[in-house]
Amino acid sequence: MQLNPTEISDLIKKRIEGFDMDAEARTEGTIVSIMDGIVRIHGLSDVMSGEMIEFSNGAYGLALNLERDSVGAVVLGDYKGITEGDTAKCTGRILDVPVGPELMGRVVDSLGAPIDGKGPVNTSSMNPIERQAPGVIERQSVDEPMETGIKALDSMVPVGRGQRELIIGDRQTGKTAVAIDAIINQKGKDVKCIYVAVGQKASSVAGVVRKLEEFGAMEYTIVVAANASDPASMQYLAPYAGCAMGEYFRDNGEDALIIYDDLTKQAWAYRQVSLLLRRPPGREAYPGDVFFLHSRLLERSSRVNADYVERYTNGKVKGKTGSLTAYPIIETQEGDVSAFVPTNVISITDGQIFLDTDLFNSGNRPAIDAGLSVSRVGGSAQTKIIKKLGGGIRLDLAQYRELAAFSQFASDLDEGTRKQLERGARVTALMTQKQYSPLKTAELAFTLFAANEGFLDDIEVAKVGDFEAAMLSYIRTEKAEFLDSLNESGDYNEEIASEMKSALEDFKSKGAW
């Protein structure tokens, strides 16, 4: 028999000393029925909505339906051992999760309990999982970029810190890959990341965690996982729990990035819970408040001003703004973006990244559809250089797609159209990017500059990828200082343009690709 770390005599002594021996007064009820993780309780006359309920087997529940003579609650976790006639106790606590920097590098469940086998998490504070989003007065406009390191995203659909950008697409179009790349790119940028996995295969989550560890991204990341085998109640709560953990960083004047992978499955889980609680079904059998389910969650991603942070931290953090950027993911069926949940989330978010099956299958990865992907305020948060150089790319690509479809039927094309098609093909080739290889701002600037200034025009389309790789490695070695200063400032002017131009001309004259 082995000793647990908690079984040290001193610890046990301290616990016995600190043990509260007073008689305890609480409200009790009787379980009338239990089925499919839903419990009906008679009694509990002064229970609050959203209060935690303790069952006799030690499991907790969440009171959701308060009716005249009964309370409908979901069991959080295992409902084995709860029987009809058992007592259920009020705890007087609204459901909360541990928050704080101690959680980083850990994998936890929807209640914040570690599930990675690395021992207990010793956090000092707890936050309720349902919180009101910051109000109008407390917000600050978005003016800092949240860079993903993906060429197509940073140039065409930029996202600012504090925004909500939806990643939407069919299954197997690389939605999670985009999100993971965004996390990996935050290395060394002092952005805390939270990855919320809802209703996914445990093996996929394990795969993501392994990848994040491999790229050294786990040290600034919290993974909140409610897998497909977890109860629906846990899957429904996981995004809120992750959001509470992200809000801690936002409220303390730091920047955080949260990924909800994916909200479709959360809506399914909520639908299950609602139907079992006998709430009336609406469109697609979702309950009436499925819009509010997502809007209240995504509204909590925001940029807050320094006053808010100062007030929240009681003056400990001064003059710093905080932000929580969200990348919710929605999975569509057969590209149907007009289904209920996708339209809801599209209307809540600040824009969407649309991933297309055909593009993915034809090898354009990430498979971002330039025409359908938009960002509502991201442009004002782009660095100057990317804004200047990336401006034309989106238009080029969107026009190219249309033109390419149209020109398939035309035998001879005029000079202008032919040029546009050739340029489009090169830009498309340039926008493909391998997974796990995010680009820095300056590197992206060089790539875009090469495309804009026609350095690619005499390169075969198939060679564009090689050309880019060779160019970047040349610049990384020959122009390291210039790259660093460009990354730092993000500025763009005549001087910088001419230096970039001469660097590219140098490289091209060597012809080493």
Partner 1 sequence: MSELTTVARPYARAVFEEAEKSNDLTKWSDTLGLMKAIASNDEVKALLQSPKMAKQAGAKAFLQLCGDELDGKAQNLVRMLADNNRLSLLPEISVIYEALKDEAEGSIEVLVSSAKKLTKTEESAISKALKKRLGRDVKLNVSVDESLLGGAIIHAGDLVIDGSLKGRLKKMTSAMAN
Contact residues for partner 1, defined by CB under 8 A: 12, 15-16, 19, 21, 23-30, 32, 40, 42-46, 58, 67-70, 89
Rounded least distance, CB 346 to partner 1, Å: 41
Contacts of 211 (CB under 8 A, 6+ apart): 180, 436
CA angle 440, 357, 351 (to 5 degrees): 55
3-state secondary structure of 507: helix
Q: Which is nearer to partner 1, 29 or 239 (CB)?
A: 29
As a whole number of angstroms, the distance between CA 39 and CA 52 comes to: 13
Q: Which helix (H) or strand (E) is 345 found in, with range?
A: helix 340-348
Residue 76: CB atoms within 10 Å: 23
Q: Which is nearer to partner 1, 44 or 370 (CB)?
A: 44
- Angstrom CA distances, 232 to 41, 199, 228, 240, 319, stand at 19, 9, 9, 14, 42
Q: Which of 131, 279, 296, 376 is catalytic?
A: 376
Lookup result for tokens 């989550």: 205
Largest CA distance in the chain: 91
Helix 464-478 to helix 441-452 angle (10° resolution) is 130
Backbone angles phi, psi at 493, to 5 degrees: -155, 180
Helix 480-489 to helix 441-452 angle (10° resolution) is 100
**Strand blocks (E) in 318-425:** 322-331, 351-355, 374-375
As a whole number of angstroms, the distance between CA 139 and CA 249 comes to: 15
Rounded least distance, CB 85 to partner 1, Å: 10
As a whole number of angstroms, the distance between CA 490 and CA 98 comes to: 38
Q: Which is nearer to partner 1, 77 or 366 (CB)?
A: 77
- Angstrom CA distances, 416 to 23, 412, 420, stand at 87, 12, 6
Q: Which is nearer to partner 1, 68 or 510 (CB)?
A: 68
Q: Which is nearer to partner 1, 31 or 152 (CB)?
A: 31
Q: Which is nearer to partner 1, 27 or 420 (CB)?
A: 27
Rounded least distance, CB 21 to partner 1, Å: 6
Reply yes or no on whether 283 is catalytic.
no
CA angle 199, 203, 208 (to 5 degrees): 85
Rounded least distance, CB 42 to partner 1, Å: 5
Rounded least distance, CB 234 to partner 1, Å: 19
Q: Which is nearer to partner 1, 35 or 469 (CB)?
A: 35
Rounded least distance, CB 274 to partner 1, Å: 19
- What tokens does 458 get? 């005499």
**Residue of 263, 330, 258 lying closest to 300 (CA atoms):** 258
Rounded least distance, CB 107 to partner 1, Å: 20
Which residues are annotated as catalytic?
376
